[in-house]
Structure 1
């Protein structure tokens, strides 16, 4: 059984990640720039205590059983109504009051050597946070190449059909976690559509083209260029529908910091990606005393579509007993 949460280091000599068994959370990631200068490119805290006290707005963690929002915290599976905790306006967000980000995961494997990796496992019980059925969840972080971080997530329901949609919720700042806002970062997103939302940030069910809107990142734009045309900032799900593929993964996004030339290419097999510009971060004291303000990082949460369990026209997030839910993310850094 899981004991006290701990932080484990993964390093291959080029990049170094620290990952905590609390929430399977990336707490730091050291990446070189073109000159070989290393910076920590993820927002977070120096110790586990602030994470465990709930001070992190999902910094670096894995969220589930269902990432993003479920309308009114309600859904129906096989004729049975389920009600979840409401923790975001009228909605249930990121698994509820005590989602996968707020539990200790077991460390089931830790390998050093050529391809360092760590595998976490968590058993989610029937009825936990209102969700049906027992589910075993695994997450493996690995460093398969010199400057690549890979995450493989899987989940198997044991006895009941249940919605599952995991997401990795790191806040990225490629100039360094303590370097201010990300409005000068540029991004390209391989999505020609978004799922527009209502006043409670729940998708309307529409699939909307981004062409001629401030949501169009099919070519590279600075994040801050049109952010004021989007009330509150970006917090939207992109349909990943036009990227190249390699090894079964789609090109989701390319994030670039012009000052230090670090670039992050994100590949995934998920159907969607929440593009979130840390609109609600407000004066959080993080690593080394850095104070994180609004837009201090950007989240690229590959996922099933928000509220998909209640939207028949969205890709299904319902997983049957014995089926294996799988979700991979590849973070390729270059300078």
Structure 2
């Protein structure tokens, strides 16, 4: 385990980088956004990178499409930024085209410096205080994020939160995966994806769920049998949808996705407690600056598989309840396991 400076924000606040490793996995985590800045896995060809990211803080500040961060207080989108809790309406920041609330607002958790609370050779715990009224949210919230690198190529992410008044919480890890980066793959369209979801959430033109919970059968959203992402065609933004895994959060993680890089032969298996999996194909990726190793990231350079609650759940009573109350604890556990096919 090592801690090193990563840069300063405009107000002089310092951002640190914590590196942990075990079992053939090395993880670099920033205190800004509790961000996975780098993830490398030992292979027969040496250590290989598996996520998109930047080497400089300034690039995260100016060009990052949420690379590797923890999104919150409510990840994903809320229609018109409207949040209703116990009959009271709250107006959240509308930070996406002046219409929707996205990933917690203008200064969501991805833009905040988390405090380092505990660390060891193979784990790090970060904490964030979010005040009542920030971005329009009710309640003083304490959020916690622990990354733990274990044997057999595993990373365990545990997210937690408590509040002093009723609020909404939906935290999500937002890494962009490309399992063939070091094999020279410029996109993820030939990756094989399997997700055991029989339903998905159709969206409107603003990527807000329509309210329908639709069957995946006969649609491009059927990944119950592993297939390439390219199989559905290359139309822009084909995928930025929630795949429905369950109707409520479970106590223990179960399999939610399997991804295979055909060039590297790397397999990523994801298990999680969450009821939904947001699948974004990275169609709009294209930062103006290079990423790790000077690589230029273009459209589909990496994909996101984000275990979480359903988008716009605060306005959809038939979606899993996103409300957290005093005396309760929010808890998400997601496990990522890398191996050879």
Q: TM-score, normalization: structure 2?
A: 0.91
Partners in 1 of 2:39 and 2:149 — Cα distance?
12
Question: Which ranges in structure 1 are unaligned for 5 or more consecutive residues?
Answer: none
More displaced stretch, 283-292 vs 117-126: 283-292
Deviations 1:49-91 (A, max 9, x none): 221x231000000000000000000122123221111122310
**In angstroms, what is the RMSD of aligned CA positions?**
1.7
**Preserved contact between residue 190 and residue 241 of structure 1 (Cα < 8 Å):** no
Instruction: Check the 8 A contact 2:50/2:180 in 1, yes or no.
Output: yes
- C-alpha distance in structure 1 between counterparts of 2:194 and 2:322, whole Å: 26
Is 1:321 equivalent to 2:315 in the alignment? Answer: no
Contact kept, 8 Å, 2:258 with 2:270, in 1: the verdict is: yes
Once the two structures are superposed, residues 131-171 of structure 1 have per-residue CA deviations (whole angstroms, 9 ceiling, x without a partner) of 0010000000001223001100000012x100100000000
**Structure 1 Cα separation of the partners of residues 119 and 163 of structure 2:** 24
Query: Counterpart of 2:267?
Result: 263
Return the alpha-carbon distance in structure 1 between the equivalents of residues 315 and 100 of structure 2: 13
Q: How many residues align?
A: 324
Within 2, Cα distance between the matches of 1:248 and 1:327? 9
**3-state DSSP class of the match of 1:171?**
coil
Which moved further from structure 2: 172-181 or 268-277? Answer: 172-181
| TM-score, length of structure 1 as denominator length | 0.93
Residue 3 of structure 1 and its aligned partner are, at CA, apart by 5.2
Kindly indicate whether the alpha-carbon contact (under 8 Å) linking 1:227 and 1:234 is maintained by their aligned counterparts in 2.
Answer: no
Instruction: Indicate if the aligned counterparts of 1:185 and 1:255 stay in contact, CA closer than 8 A.
Output: yes
Equivalent residue for 2:154, pick from 140, 148, 155: 148
Separation (CA, whole Å) in 1 of partners of 2:196 and 2:30: 31
User: Which one of the candidate residues 17, 23, 28 is aligned to 1:7?
Assistant: 17
**Partner in structure 2 of residue 104 of structure 1:** 113
Cα distance, 1:179 vs structure 2:
3.2
d(CA) in 2 for partners of 1:204 and 1:304?
16
For the pair 1:221 / 2:230, whether they are aligned, the reply is: no
Q: Which residue of 2 aligns with 1:93?
A: 102
Q: 1:291 to 1:327 in 2, by over 3 A?
A: same
CA distance in 1, matches of 2:152, 2:36: 18
For structure 2, list consecutive stretches of 5 or more residues without a partner in the other structure: 1-11
Q: Which residue of 1 aligns with 2:58?
A: 49
Q: 1:283 to 1:108 in 2, by over 3 A?
A: closer
- The correspondence of residues 158-307 of structure 1 with structure 2, limited to 5 A, is 158=164, 160-176=165-181, 179-228=185-234, 232-241=237-246, 248-284=252-288, 285-307=290-312
Q: Which of 8, 28, 31 is the matching residue for 1:21?
A: 31
Cα pair distance change 1:331/1:127, threshold 3 Å = same
Does the residue aligned with 1:11 lie in a helix, a strand or coil? strand
